[in-house]
Structure 1
Amino acid sequence: MNAPLRRVGVVAMVLFGLLFANLNWVQAYKADEYRTSDYNGRVQVAEYDRKRGNIEAGGTALATSQATDGNLKYLRTYPGGAEYAHVIGYKPVNLGDTGIERLENDFLAGTSDQLIADRVKDMFTGDESGGGNVLLSISKNAQKAAYDGLRNNNNGVKRGAAVALDPRTGAVQALVSMPSFDPNPLASHDTSEASAAYNKYEQDPAGPLKNRALAEVLPPGSTFKMVVAAAALEDGVTPQTRIPAGSSWRASTGGNTITNAVPSICPQSEVTLMTAVTDSCNTGFAQLGVRIGAEALKEKARQFGFDQEDLTVGHLGEGGHRVAPSRTGDIQNPDGGTDEAALGQSAIGQRDVRMTPLQGALISAAVANGGAQMRPYLVQQLLAPDRTTDYYTARPRELRQPVSSKVAGDLRDMMVNVVREGTGRNAAFDGYTVGGKTGTAQSGPQNADHGWFIGFALDSKGTPVSAVCVVLEEAGSGGSAEAARIAGRIMRAAVSDSGGR
């Protein structure tokens, strides 16, 4: 064999070797990825051959599968529509699924290892194997109150969020992000229609696909004062301790002058901590923050859940909606020393302090629950396709204890006074003791202020039954009062719904 032929033969053998190696690599390492790819048509057809399980709340189906005459045998539909969109998410044909549809996909699809006995049984009986059913902790009444309250708010706000929890268990009673979206077009078997719907939502500057309840971080304003008050109480201050106040305050190192919302709020040189919380005294809390110190303030915020990177809300086990971490910021000068002016601003929930609505609800829930903060969850139960077997029931567990029961009791009393005599009166409703804290937060020199409210409701025996956070973005004047009004209606709805309790 001459030299050119030998070279061709060697090249051919090398190419064949590479092809053989690639084939084995695909079979050994890429097979699962290709088999389960959203772009594998055979996988899609097979997935839609089995009826997907329901997602339900309070006995009502919020996501169901309807039989069709097409190649894909079942169409996913969402009777709950936009009201539940950010809880449930959606299950599209070619796009990525989201929410509970993604988090509990294997169970809903019937492919979970938990359902192997059901699949074996169906093989012998000849029945069609279906997916399992996911039951949520959501209170239908509370969810409706949150959705309607945000959409029809009296300030004409277009963006906001609301979260309600059972303080004793962490069960999510309501979770709404505004604006919302209709998930039904996204699940269409017409992929062009689904893609067009997704592009429309994605390009909407209002951001309807964003889950603001869990992913939006905003300056919390005076709601953050409850964290400062907790640190002060642990430092020996009592609700009746007099703290420095005044009509204005400016750090000794300079910076912006801090004033109160109106001149009538704590113009005297000293007020009690109870009065400072009730009337939302900025000057008092700015000076209290400086007294406590940056590290103690940041540490107390961390104990309430700030800076947690791995919190999720869904199943109490692994997985869930990811929650953006809330932050306090550095609160220091470039040289590493404490910036007194920044500390004063941070103590009233401004500067670099940022909080999610869920974090606000967790703060009020911990206060209501004697200092114990429970891990939030959405998935209450996993039931077999025929609903006869319970594969999972949520067993509430404590996430952390940011304050002692004594400190929690003092915070609770002060928050109750805010609703009775202070800025949170709009949250009150008959038959329950309601506590809370309003917050007005600057959002930029050209933007209206955000309106916040965090709070809780106790029954006649003092048992906490609901904790809530409502934020209305750029609500302007009266925004926190309107947030308090909506929060009160959400809590009232939650306690009227036995499924939410």
Structure 2
Amino acid sequence: MNKPIRTLSVFCLVLFLALMLNATYLQYWRADSLDHDSRNKRAVDAAFSQERGAILVGRTPVAQSVPSKDRYEFQRTYSRPYLYAPLTGWFNYYNAQSGSCTSCQQMVEQTENDVLAGTDDRLFVNRLVDLLSNKQSKGGNVQLTINAAAQRAAYEGLLKVVGPTGQGSVVALQPRTGKVLAMVSLPSYDPNLLADHDLEKVNATAKKLQDDPDQPLVNRAIQTRLPPGSTFKIVTAAAAIEDGLYTKDDLVPGGATYQLPLTSGSTGLIDNEGRDCGTTRIPFAQALENSCNTTFARLGVELGADKLRQQAEKFGFNRTYFSDLLPQVESNFPKDADKAQAGQSGIGQYEVAATPLQMAMVAAGIANDGKVMKPYLVDSVQSPEFEQIESTEPELLDQAISSSTASQLTDLMVSTVDDGTANPAAIPGIPVAGKTGTAQSGIPDVPPYAWFVSFAPADDPQVAVAVMIQKAPGVERGEIAGGLLGGPIAKAVMEAVIR
């Protein structure tokens, strides 16, 4: 072979090897990233045209794919849009690509996308059978933990108080497991408008929702943290009993006013707004029944900020623990607070801030003998034929308090419903434990926030509830109170579960 032919042969061989290496690189090493690249329109078209699995509440699909007569073959629909939108989210052309937006707000349509799209490893056998039988692959189903009656009671009760443009949230948990029985956030929105095949309409709807000052796309159950006010007093009471400072039968500090340490004048003066809190020492039950600020500010000072923070963190503050919806905002208890700030923290003010989910976990932990369970929304994953593939197992998050402390707190909270400020949540014939809260916003011209936490039956807890009312346009400022506004909502949710 002469030199020119040999040179040309070697050159062709190098080109052939380079082509083989490039094909191997693209089809093996880069295949996954290219498939998930949002610029890959063929992959997006295929994903958007697929029949996704259903999102189920009980046996009822609240999100499902139905045949469509346009180019995309299937249309995603939501049967109770405003009721479940903060949980389901939406599925459209822009989020059809798994992993295309890792930093975006993600609801079940996104966090369980692999199951719903049928690409999850747990559905491999189903995909293989479909391939061998030459059938189009279907997505698996996701069953939620939601109790439909409780969800409806929470939504209707909150809507009645805040109206369609108000802001608030309700969360209900099953204390022994951590199952989310209800999770409502207002204002809500219609995800059907975001799942439309007309992309111009989708873009217009998305812009309108994003520009809305009431922020309907925010799930306030996990993404809004506000001062919990007097509902935090059950955490302060838990710390005081757990530390051995007091028992439920002891007398605690009372009084009409209390000057915080390191302060002088009105800036550090705590008062009870006319409630019956005695003069010097009063029964612990009286202090909680009347939500005495002077009592719990003193307890915060006596305990100190570190012990209060440690107790709050055992209930879930300063950490994340919920993965079925993202992102979750951490509830906050301040670090390095001085004595005055510890006193303010003891009544749920200063820099203490909580989500409704967090306060529901506090109530659920007390109801569950002091054990705080990790909350979860996805109950099980199913095949396209509705056969269960995997179910979520309850998981202990922390032993927040002893069973003895939990029992004492339960008695105090039952007394608060029977004879105190939490009476609007009372259910005839059923013992209910509860606590009210009204927290100052700290923002000029912004009304206070109303809170309510409870669980029932107190002697065999089946449900723990937290209600947060951030803005109620039709309610006068002087009428904003946790018991008055939140108590009836919590009562309706508890009745929906236990009756």
TM-score scaled by length of structure 1: 0.88
User: Where do residues 204-283 of structure 1 align in structure 2 (5 Å cutoff)?
Assistant: 204-236=212-244, 237-255=246-264, 256-283=267-294
151-160 or 267-276, which deviates more: 151-160
Q: 1:489 aligns with which of 488, 492, 496?
A: 492
Kindly provide the CA deviation profile for residues 431-478 of structure 1, in whole angstroms up to 9, marking residues without a partner as x.
42111110110002422110000110117xx22100010000145434
Shift of 1:24: 8.9
Matches of 2:323 and 2:38, distance apart in 1: 25
Question: Which residue identity does 1:219 align to in structure 2?
Answer: P
CA contact (8 A) 1:458 1:464 kept: yes
User: Where do residues 174-189 of structure 1 align in structure 2 (5 Å cutoff)?
Assistant: 174-189=182-197
CA contact (8 A) 2:228 2:451 kept: yes
Residues 331 and 78 of structure 1: CA distance in aligned 2, closer, same or farther (over 3 Å): same
Corresponding position: 1:141 with 2:149: yes
Aligned counterpart, 2:8:
none
Q: Give 5+ residue unaligned stretches, structure 1.
A: 1-18, 315-319, 333-338, 497-501
Matches of 2:69 and 2:85, distance apart in 1: 27
Shift of 1:151: 1.1
SS at match of 2:75: strand
Shift of 1:154: 6.8
Aligned counterpart, 2:176:
168
Q: 1:468 aligns with which of 432, 440, 465?
A: 465
SS at match of 1:295: helix
SS at match of 1:94: helix
Shift of 1:153: 0.8
Matches of 1:175 and 1:473, distance apart in 2: 15
User: Where do residues 287-306 of structure 1 align in structure 2 (5 Å cutoff)?
Assistant: 287-306=298-317
SS at match of 2:182: strand
Question: Which residue identity does 1:479 align to in structure 2?
Answer: A
Residues 313 and 80 of structure 1: CA distance in aligned 2, closer, same or farther (over 3 Å): farther
CA contact (8 A) 1:214 1:357 kept: yes
Aligned counterpart, 2:425:
427
CA contact (8 A) 1:370 1:404 kept: yes
SS at match of 1:70: coil
Q: Give 5+ residue unaligned stretches, structure 2.
A: 1-18, 96-100
Aligned counterpart, 2:404:
406
Matches of 1:57 and 1:108, distance apart in 2: 15
CA contact (8 A) 2:258 2:271 kept: no
Aligned counterpart, 1:368:
367
SS at match of 2:345: helix
SS at match of 2:56: strand
Matches of 2:363 and 2:172, distance apart in 1: 10
SS at match of 1:176: strand
Question: Which residue identity does 1:464 align to in structure 2?
Answer: P
RMSD: 2.3
Matches of 1:79 and 1:100, distance apart in 2: 15
Kindly provide the CA deviation profile for residues 103-150 of structure 1, in whole angstroms up to 9, marking residues without a partner as x.
111111111111111122223334332111111110111111111111
Aligned counterpart, 1:61:
61
Residues 183 and 375 of structure 1: CA distance in aligned 2, closer, same or farther (over 3 Å): same
Corresponding position: 1:311 with 2:309: no
Question: Which residue identity does 2:465 align to in structure 1?
Answer: V
Question: Which residue identity does 1:245 align to in structure 2?
Answer: G
Aligned counterpart, 2:40:
40
Question: Which residue identity does 2:481 align to in structure 1?
Answer: G
Matches of 1:351 and 1:161, distance apart in 2: 22
CA contact (8 A) 2:435 2:454 kept: yes
SS at match of 1:194: helix
Matches of 2:329 and 2:44, distance apart in 1: 32
Kindly provide the CA deviation profile for residues 314-334 of structure 1, in whole angstroms up to 9, marking residues without a partner as x.
2xxxxx4332111111353xx
CA contact (8 A) 1:38 1:93 kept: no
Q: 1:479 aligns with which of 461, 478, 481?
A: 481
Shift of 1:157: 7.5
CA contact (8 A) 2:322 2:374 kept: no
Corresponding position: 1:118 with 2:120: no
37-46 or 63-72, which deviates more: 37-46
Corresponding position: 1:201 with 2:203: no
Shift of 1:424: 0.5
Matches of 1:51 and 1:493, distance apart in 2: 34
Aligned counterpart, 2:72:
72
Number of aligned residue pairs: 464
Matches of 1:362 and 1:119, distance apart in 2: 39
Percent identity of equivalent pairs: 39
Matches of 1:292 and 1:365, distance apart in 2: 23
CA contact (8 A) 2:162 2:469 kept: no
